[in-house]
Chain A
Amino acid sequence: MPLITLNGTVVNLEIPKVTEPESEGIQDALATDVVALSFEHANDGRSFSWAGLLRSEGFSGTLIGVGPIGLDRLAYSFQVGFDAVQLSDHEYAELKEIHLRPFEWSYQQDPHLTDHEIPSP
């Protein structure tokens, strides 16, 4: 199953054993170069928060998402801090620009209204 990066390119990375920060603690993960976090099913979003937490704790290594992430969660995955995400072969065959970048812009990247362009009333 291909690993996809933000640009939609396939990378050859060895996927390490999946980390379970809840039982293993996050200190080990923070000390590792490559961390793999798993999504159990298509509605499971817990690893979005483990990824967010690791990044805010200063993790600067490579973060890989594995499991049924799907085309429709790619953009969220990269935004939260994953470097590469697993797709099925069938999903990879369907991959389009709209899946990588459904939105040109996000409120989370730029949470300040005064930085937006507000048209005059």
Chain B
Amino acid sequence: MYQYAAVDQNLVEARVKQFREQLERYQEGLLPEDSFKTLRLQNGVYIQTHAPMLRVAIPYGTLSSTQLRKLAQIARTYDKGYGHFTTRQNIQFNWPTLESVPDILEELSVVQMHAIQTSGNCVRNTTTDPFAGATVDEAIDPRVICELIRQWSTFHHEYAYLPRKFKIAVVATELDRAAIEVHDIGIRLKRHSIHGLAFDLWVGGGLGRTPVIGKLLFADLPFTELRNWLNAVLRIYNLYGRRDNKYKARIKILVNSVGLNTFRELVSNRYHKDRKDALVVKSEDVTTLASMFQVNLQPEPEEYQPEIPEFYRWYKNATKPHRVNGYRLVVISLKRPDVAPGDLSAELMDVVASLADRFSQSEIRTTHDQNLVLPHVHTKDLFSLWEALSNQGLAYPNVGLISDVIACPGLDFCSLANAPTLSLADAIHQEFASLEEQINIGPLEIKISGCMNACGHHHIGHIGILGVDKKGTPWYQLTVGGRDQKGAVLGERIGPAVEHDEVIPLIRRIIDRFMEERAPNEWFVDYVTRIGVEPLKAAAYAIDYA
């Protein structure tokens, strides 16, 4: 993992002092509400329905066991004993007091953590493949690049007050586990015959009110020029992005309004005029970072696994191939009945931290679909790990299945939401309580957002659910056929919005039709692509066209 140098530590500690002073000025009435709002957001503090919410950064989704224990302690001391893992691989605490935030930030700084730029109109936490450094066929560990971006974008004097928030995602494999095509900037790293390491630069993707799939701005750029290209894109966005309407302020709107070719020309001109040698990535820096992320594992033969059906089912669902023979990646589903998606109690955080110490080089990952990963588990330890997880209710093998639902906190917590989301996630668990049935249905991603801001990424769910307001009552709009991987697709509306209690019957009818008509082993999303929305609409709304 990346270890802070003295300068990194100095910076996070200075940030705590800075925020403490800003809060004091606000409390003394010396800082207007509006100005303070911007400052608190850049420190991850929202004012929510019940209390302030603090979003803590987990850079590129990598946590040490020490850091996870600190999060558990914060949950116990300052919150109600739990935390919520988000779709940007961060964690949120929903119940701290505003006065306690500087103390929480100080506690975080002790374990090299912070809440810097987890909100506000700035460059946010760069997300990446939760399997980074452990999966096969990577051009490089993408966290090396994420760390370079983290440093470059932290307290960037020019880009701390952008027209709107700015999200970057990085992958280094063909398979896209970070949804780069729905980010303001998406970076795909690849090996290149001339540059050694190169990247494709995608721009202008995003969800929210106006969902847009990103566009390929440039392909095969030399990796060493990464920061110079980022600088050119951000400068053009900051100069020309709209500030008169927050719903039209994201870079996707700028790209669409000037057109991709003009945007490309603007960026290219700036790149050539503003390029600085100082921003060129040095190979020594890459080597230093890569060595920090490197975990030394020796290839070993896979060890025999006991033939216990429950264990085998979990093994098949929740463990994934590792780059080193003899090891597996293990996904811990945080989608259990009666628990909000992504929530984890302080006690269970401590349990996971201990398991990471015992079985996974003290390392944990957070995923953009709100689960956790133990990235380096030896196959000989899998059974013990499964037993330990099972004892804590953490071995539910529904990873990637219909009950592995992504949901924003919704109306229960968020002041922006139109509709509850957590009750729907729970209803899905109840309706599809049989694991056998879930496995038969196969891979199916349901994503739920409580409002148009799309924090639950509903547009790219195989089934997307959006909470809408109808004369003060929450209703839900369903989409089908969305995808977030390479060649991302936005889901299509299946028909009119329905009331809360109608959502599950509607999904049930869709699934029943799918199970009747699917080709052998066909995924739900491929089935939707094959047959189109109309026949499903008929099934969903029980329309008889005959």
How distant is B75 from chain A, measured CB to nearest CB, in Å?
Answer: 29
Is A79 at the interface (CB under 8 A from chain B)? yes
Cβ of B10 < 8 Å from any Cβ of A? yes
**CB of B223 to closest CB in A, whole Å:** 15
Q: Are the C-beta atoms of A106 and B235 separated by less than 8 Å?
A: no
The answer to the question of B288 belonging to the interface, with a C-beta cut-off of 8 Å to chain A, is: yes
Q: How far is the CA of A121 from the CA of B1 in the complex (A)?
A: 10
Q: Is B238 an interface residue (CB 8 A)?
A: yes
The 6 A-B residue pairs whose C-beta atoms are closest, nearest first, are: A45-B161, A79-B157, A49-B238, A76-B157, A113-B285, A107-B151
Q: How far is the CA of A119 from the CA of B273 in the complex (A)?
A: 37
18 residue pairs from A and B, CB less than 8 Å apart: A22-B240, A43-B38, A45-B158, A46-B238, A46-B239, A48-B160, A80-B158, A103-B11, A103-B155, A107-B151, A107-B154, A107-B156, A111-B278, A114-B285, A116-B6, A117-B5, A118-B3, A119-B3
Query: B295 to chain A: closest CB distance in Å?
Result: 12
Q: In the assembled complex, which residues on chain B have CB atoms less than 8 Å from the CB atom of A89?
A: none
Q: Is the CB of B157 within 8 A of A106?
A: yes
B:8-61 near A, CB below 8 Å: 8, 10-11, 14-15, 17-18, 21-22, 25, 30, 32, 34-35, 38-39
In the complex, B284 has a CB within 8 A of chain A: yes
Measured in the bound complex, the distance between the Cα atoms of B15 and A98 in whole Å is: 10
Verify if B499 is at the interface (C-beta below 8 Å from A): no
Task: Say if the beta carbon of A1 comes within 8 Å of chain B.
Answer: no
Contacts A45-B160, A53-B239, A94-B25 hold; do A111 and B154 have CB atoms under 8 A apart? no
Tell me, yes or no, whether A23 is within 8 Å of chain B by CB. Answer: no
* Residue in A22, A42, A90 whose CB lies within 8 Å of B239: A22
Interface membership of B80, Cβ < 8 A? no
Interface residues of A (CB under 8 A from B): 22, 40, 42-46, 48-53, 56-57, 70, 72-73, 75-77, 79-80, 90, 94, 96, 98, 102-108, 111-114, 116-119, 121
Q: A72-B22, A79-B157, A113-B151 are in contact. Are A105 and B289 (CB under 8 A)?
A: no
B:213-234 near A, CB below 8 Å: 227
Closest A residue to B25 using CB positions: A94
- Residues in B whose Cβ lies below 8 Å from that of A105: 7, 10-11
Query: Contacts A72-B22, A94-B30, A117-B5: A111 and B158 contacting too (C-beta < 8 A)?
Result: no
Contact of B161 among A57, A73, A113, A114 (CB under 8 A): A73
Q: With an 8 A cutoff between CB atoms, is B274 at the interface?
A: yes
Are A98 and B158 neighbours in the complex by a CB distance under 8 Å? no
Complex CA distance for A79 and B18, rounded to whole angstroms: 17
Assembly CA distance A42 to B21 (angstroms): 18
Are A112 and B6 in touch, CB under 8 angstroms? Answer: no
**Shortest CB distance A111–B (Å):** 6
Q: A53-B235, A105-B7, A119-B3 are in contact. List 17 more A-B contacts (CB 8 A).
A: A42-B35, A42-B38, A43-B161, A46-B163, A46-B239, A48-B158, A49-B159, A56-B274, A70-B35, A72-B22, A80-B158, A103-B11, A103-B18, A108-B155, A113-B282, A116-B5, A117-B7
Q: Are B151 and A118 in contact (CB under 8 A)?
A: no
Complex alpha-carbon distance, A96 and B18, angstroms? 11
Chain B: number of interface residues, binned into ranges:
35 or more
User: Which residues of chain B are near A121, meaning CB under 8 Å?
Assistant: 3, 292
The chain B residue sitting closest to A120, CB to CB, is: B3
A30 vs chain B, min Cβ distance (A): 12
Which of B159, B238, B282 is close to A112, meaning CB atoms less than 8 Å apart? B282
> Contact string, B338-379, partner A, CB cutoff 8 A, digits 1/0?
000000000000000000000000000000000000000000
**Contacting residues, chain B, for A118 (C-beta < 8 A):** 3, 5, 288
Interface string of B158-180 (1 = CB under 8 A from A): 11111100000000000000000
**Which residues of the other chain, B, contact A48 by a CB distance below 8 angstroms?**
157-161, 238
Bound together, the chains give a CA A42 to CA B243 distance in angstroms of: 12
A103–B279 Cα distance when bound, in Å, is: 21
The reply on B247 being an interface residue by CB < 8 A is: no
B312: A residues at CB distance < 8 A: none
Which A residues are in CB contact (< 8 Å) with B282? Answer: 112-114
- Contact at B239–A50, with CB atoms within 8 Å? yes
Q: Which of B6, B14, B156, B158 makes the CB contact (< 8 A) with A102?
A: B14
A51: nearest chain-B partner, CB-CB: B158
Pairwise interchain contact A117-B21, C-beta atoms closer than 8 A: no
- List residues of chain A with CB within 8 A of the CB of B3: 118-119, 121
CB neighbours (8 Å) of A46 from chain B are: 163, 238-239, 243
Query: CB-nearest residue of chain A relative to B121?
Result: A43
Q: Flag if A102 contacts B288 (CB, 8 Å).
A: no
- Given the complex, which residues of B lie within 8 Å of A113, measured CB to CB? 5, 148, 151, 282, 284-285, 288-289
B contact residues around A94 at 8 Å (CB):
25, 30
CB pair A102 B238 closer than 8 Å: no
Question: Contact between B288 and A104 (Cβ–Cβ < 8 Å)?
Answer: no
A79, A104, A113, A114, most chain B CB atoms within 10 A: A113
Contact B18 A102, beta carbon cutoff 8 Å: yes
A57 x B152 contact (CB < 8 A): no
Q: Give the nearest-CB partner of A68 in chain B.
A: B35
Query: Given A53-B274, A116-B5, A119-B6, A103 and B157 touching (CB < 8 A)?
Result: no
Name B434-474 residues within 8 Å CB distance of A: none
